[in-house]
Amino acid sequence: MKLLYLPFRNCSRFQELERKTLKSEEFQKRLHPYKDFIEILPKFTGYHNQDLFGIWSKVYDPLFCERVHNFTLPSWATEDSMTKLKKISELSLLSLYGIHKQKEKSRLQGGVLVKEILYHMKSATQPLNHRKLIIYSAHDTTVSALQMALDVYNGILPPHASCHLMELYFEKGEYFIEMYYRNETQHEPHSLTLPGCTPSCPLTKFAELVAPVIPQDWSTECAMSNHEGTEDAMD
């Protein structure tokens, strides 16, 4: 498994959850305002697949990059069209990790990264561990998977060069974790609070709160299907 290449596609249970998400009432309700727009997109783009992830990666993302670099966009890519494409892309990302069975999806996706980070945090509390910094370079789908697992995702596409920071502090005999999100350059990183804790969260409490999204045996959980009990076991 490539730790940072989220979403992990070689997971049959996750693929099953994806299919159920797309059929869910909540997803269909969110998709409804954009259905007519999606229907006419192939005429403008030549991209005939209507899956939202493809629209995001093959239509919106290239146009967004072109606009950032001051290229002239095609005439159909008006401000209104770009806004709709952005909303569709955000829905794609949200449906990938959330909307339906978010905790179980997180165990199969972002929770794997949470487990790795928590391991390093705990290791850093040991006397002989002198490592001060670990940096992961990844994708927007990785940042969002991590934040969905931690339940701190804001629903907005992570901007280019965005960064989720997790810092370990030792104060008055106890270790604490603080989280920050750098999603703009004109502002200091925004403080994030793990639900159920405080901005400066005790390491033991943090580990307790994230335990439900950390897989015990990823391969086994990926092989499960709803008739084996996972449908009622999560969320």
Q: Domain of 177: which CATH number?
A: 3.40.50.1240
Q: How far apart are CA 20 and CA 103, in angstroms?
A: 15
* Residue ranges of the chain with per-residue pLDDT less than 50: 227-234
Q: What is the pLDDT of residue 1?
A: 52
| Burial grade of 37 (CB within 10 A; 0-12, 13-18, 19 or more) | middle
Q: What is the pLDDT of residue 225?
A: 73
Range of the domain at 198: 102-214
Cα angle value 25/29/30 (rounded, 5°): 120
**Residues 207 and 112 grouped into a single domain:** yes
Domain stops at, among 64, 97, 130: 97
Q: What is the pLDDT of residue 227?
A: 43
Q: What is the residue type of 178?
A: E
**Residues 187 and 202 grouped into a single domain:** yes
